[in-house]
Structure 1
Amino acid sequence: MATPALYACTKCNQRFPFEELSQGQQLCKECRIAHPIVKCTYCRTEFQQESKTNTICKKCAQNVKQFGTPKPCQYCNIIAAFIGTKCQRCTNSEKKYGPPQTCEQCKQQCAFDRKEEGRRKVDGKLLCWLCTLSYRRVLQKTKEQRKGLGSSHSNTSSLSDKEHRHHHRHSSSHHKVWIKVMSSFFFFVHSHKSSSIQKETPKKKPKLEDSSVAQSMDSGGTDNFILISQLKEEVMSLKRMLQQRDQTILEKDRKLTELKADFQYQESNMRVKMNNMEKAHKEAMEQQQVRHLYTHCHQLSLGDNGCDRQHVARIVPKIQTSRKRIHVHVVGQLNLV
């Protein structure tokens, strides 16, 4: 017997049969467990994980060193916008296919119309990049499930044929008298076994369904991880917006307090000016009254007119009191100065 051909693993360089290696990167079982295929936390592309702590691909690691932590893309919301507000995938697609359109699955405006070539792979639907990946994953799983169901059905049919042939050979070795009896008996046995096989097949289906559910749970876990990372970024952006709004509110409060203080200062200055103007007006009115009284006294003091000297004696004390008031007011103003 010729030994089967052995092929080297691309990671550990050990030789294994071709069936034991993975289809894509030709890895053995141990390397697949030690270095699983995971999705990058930033660009969401699949890559071979070299260490358990490594969660981003080499390209994103290089971009982080060069440009810093990325921001969420304004189209697809993937945290991969290292330059500007759009990721490299969306910028290239926009240059090639035009502005984005609404995705039929996630209802976000991040799907690019790739015409007939791109829609053939997703049954003519207009989907974004993440939705196309999940849709292809679901299609691949359904194809694998159909293949598994077809192979199980063919195995059950081949087993029933072998049993029928065995029973036929065994019955032909007996006597001719017992042919009819044994044929009926084996027919009953065959029908009973076929019915038991049919009853057992539904029991096998839940296992396949459980495996499909587990696979869908794995894919759902990765999708949930994407959603969690997106929600975390949204929460961080909302916190930043709240901090900015709090800062603007504080600045506005400061401006309001400054304006209130300025208004109070101006109001106090206006009151002081009004009081000074009232005092000056009173002084001017008193001075005018004094002048008027002086002229009146001068006219009365003249003897030609024959005026009454008693009237002059009444007016003179008023003039003196007004002079005293003016003197006291002037002294008070000088003390204030």
Structure 2
Amino acid sequence: MAVVVAMTGSGDGLMSPTYEIRSGTLAGFNTLVPQLGGIPSDFLAEVGLPADCMRRPDILIPISTLIDLLNLCVRELQCNDFGLRLAEQQGLRMLGVLGKLVLKEKDLDAALSASHRYMVLHNQADHWRIIERDSRLYAYRICHYEGLGVAEQYSELALGAACRLFRELAGADIRPRQVHFCHVPVSSLQRYREYFEAEVFFAQEYDCLVFDAEVLERPLNAASEGLVQYFEEFTQLLIQGQRGDIASQVRTLILQTLGAQQHNLAQVAQLVDTPVRTLQRHLRAAGTSFKQLLQEARMETARWHLRSSNIDIALLSASLGYTDTSAFSKAFRTVHGNSPLQWRKLQH
């Protein structure tokens, strides 16, 4: 996967990063837009995205382009709650291949930990900070970008999809205690209450979902046949252009499942429906190994974030699956000759 990070000029002559997000955040777009009377390819083309964007889940989209697309849909489809409607299409599907692995976790706590790491690694525009306090679970959305205009629809998509993820993982009866948005309402208050089934507050300091902490102990729902089929088709779609290149297939799947934290060959073998020993033999024949491909995937993802986001080094390290920051720094220095912090400064 080629990673290209665009840079834009600022008034002081410096170059600032264009925060990017993977196209998986648009899961359900091709289903929703026709329901509202639109043609998905027309909207994608107008903001400069390829018509087959939905069939290429690993494509990178500038957050500004995503915001423009959502606002375009609001205007042209006369749908003020487009972000929430798109969120209704998502849930586990927004996790891509990782969703298949998340379903095997023991409870909601473990599943959310893996989902959180995935979101950190696949989105430069924002990340979630999850805090348990006074028998409450606070899920804060921390925004990295500024000055991109009207981003309310993206905020509503993000919180709406996160709330749906909770419910799809562990029960449709899960309801947040409160929902906080930084912006003022763009739809009727009734629409927000209907979607979240909770009291919704606006003009707050942070976007935030508040739950009872006890929901973390809930066991996960059994996956529906439709969901299992979706993940199978998604996996095949992701690797279909790499038939005959087992190393590229494995590397792609590693990149898509870094949030699983404890990577092992058995996980990837399961995803490609190949016995572990057979997969090992194929990788050896290709002149590589699972360990080498994992290292390459981690370093590629680390460079993407260090070059073009302000993510905390400790958060990046933990999300990539390192036991501590020093282990990540040592691995990064071995490959690049500099610590992650030094390398970031050199890029900027």
* TM-score, normalisation: structure 2: 0.23
| Higher CA-based Rg | 1
Higher strand share: 2
Higher helix share: 1
RCO higher in structure (CA 8 A, sep ≥6): 2
